[in-house]
Amino acid sequence: MNPAAALREQFIRWALRVKPPEASPVVLGQRRVYVLPTRAGLGFAAALLTMLVGSINYNLSLGYVLTFLLAGLGVVAILHTFRNLVRLKVSRGRTPAVFAGEHASFHVVLASDIERHAIRLWLPEGEGTTVDLAAGDSADACLRLPTTRRGWLALPRFGLETTWPLGLIRAWAYCAPDLRCLVYPQPAAKAPPLPWGAGEQGGRRTGGRGNDDFAGLRGHQLADPPRHVAWKTAARHGADAPLLTKQFDGTATARIWLDWQDAPGEDDEARLSILTRWALDAHAAGLDWGLGLPARSIAPASGEAHLQTALTALALHGQA
């Protein structure tokens, strides 16, 4: 890190006033909001100085009036810009889980008892967003950050700034609320078929598809067991015909087990990626499925809650 970047980082840490992460809600007090002129503000000040020198040199009374009128306008702009940011309340919002490689969406809730305009939130390595607030209302601001690996991703320090109303002054502050996003392993793009050999038949489900009576044929899916493929029909129609899968009516439901030892891969991350793909495929097929990891086992079940439990276990595997 070069000296300029190190000095800037030291200033930002000092400007936070507290050690991150901060407990929610975070209120931006007067000592946390800083103001400096923008480039337009510096140009405005230079123009005022030129007008003042000209008025003194030529003894222009109207020049004095215009100069000090514009100077007063600049002072009022400083107060309004500072007031537009100070005492703003920042709270945690919802942060849905994502898969590695996707963008994490951190939702931050801004609340205020006065009307505020053009509040911009930005991340050092992410995207920014601008919101307006009505008096006594709140607004949801979304900060997006790219993800590269599984596990918990904490929201880094972000900035809030405004140049309202005239763009002459920039008021800004830093905030670091305790907000994090769960990142699931990235599903494997190419994974072996579901390990049906590790499964069993069981689990009674009313009105489900089982193995009792033949009900017809449907298009083949990758999650279908090989023994249900209509091989004779495929042989009659030739190699170019699409594969079909036999459907059965009954109450028996296929149950499979997704085990760590059955997932091929050169390292742990590759195995987790394949297990994630298997979990998504088994859920999409409506199966009862269980998950076996070296440090944890999840009993066979189905449904969205079961899927989320399994994905969370995969995301946090091997992490404290």
* Residue 271 included in any domain: yes
pTM summary value: 0.76
* Residue 49 included in any domain: yes
Burial of 109 (0-12, 13-18, 19+ CB in 10 A): middle
* Residue 191 included in any domain: no
Domain finish residue from 154, 184, 214: 184
Instruction: Look up residue 14 and give its two tokens.
Output: 């000092």
If asked whether residues 278 and 133 sit together in one domain, one would say no
Contact assessment for residue 100 and residue 149, using Cβ atoms and an 8 Å cutoff:
yes
* Residue 252 included in any domain: yes
* Residue 320 included in any domain: no
If asked whether residues 140 and 229 sit together in one domain, one would say no
pLDDT attached to residue 246: 67
Instruction: Look up residue 21 and give its two tokens.
Output: 């992460």
Contact assessment for residue 187 and residue 273, using Cβ atoms and an 8 Å cutoff:
yes
pLDDT attached to residue 214: 55
pLDDT attached to residue 204: 39
pLDDT attached to residue 237: 59
312 backbone dihedrals φ, ψ, rounded to 5°:
-65, -40
* Residue 310 included in any domain: yes
If asked whether residues 201 and 176 sit together in one domain, one would say no
- Domain hosting 267: range is 196-315
If asked whether residues 257 and 138 sit together in one domain, one would say no
If asked whether residues 45 and 147 sit together in one domain, one would say yes
If asked whether residues 221 and 276 sit together in one domain, one would say yes
* Residue 282 included in any domain: yes
If asked whether residues 34 and 179 sit together in one domain, one would say yes
User: Rounded CA gap, 279 and 281, in Å?
Assistant: 5
If asked whether residues 247 and 215 sit together in one domain, one would say yes
Domain finish residue from 138, 157, 184: 184
Average pLDDT, 10 consecutive residues per value, the chain (320 residues): 74 70 89 94 96 94 95 96 96 94 95 95 85 94 94 93 95 93 94 71 43 57 70 64 65 76 88 94 90 92 94 90
If asked whether residues 161 and 208 sit together in one domain, one would say no
Domain tally, the chain: 2
* Residue 189 included in any domain: no
Q: How far is CA 277 from CA 21, 82, 223, 310, 314, in A?
A: 34, 51, 11, 12, 11
If asked whether residues 82 and 145 sit together in one domain, one would say yes
Domain finish residue from 152, 184, 216: 184
If asked whether residues 112 and 177 sit together in one domain, one would say yes
If asked whether residues 47 and 119 sit together in one domain, one would say yes
Tell me how crowded residue 95 is: count the other CB atoms within 10 A of its CB. 19
Q: How far is CA 8 from CA 4, 14, 64, 69, 171, in A?
A: 6, 10, 40, 36, 17
pLDDT attached to residue 6: 76
Instruction: Map residue 234 onto helix, strand or coil.
Output: helix
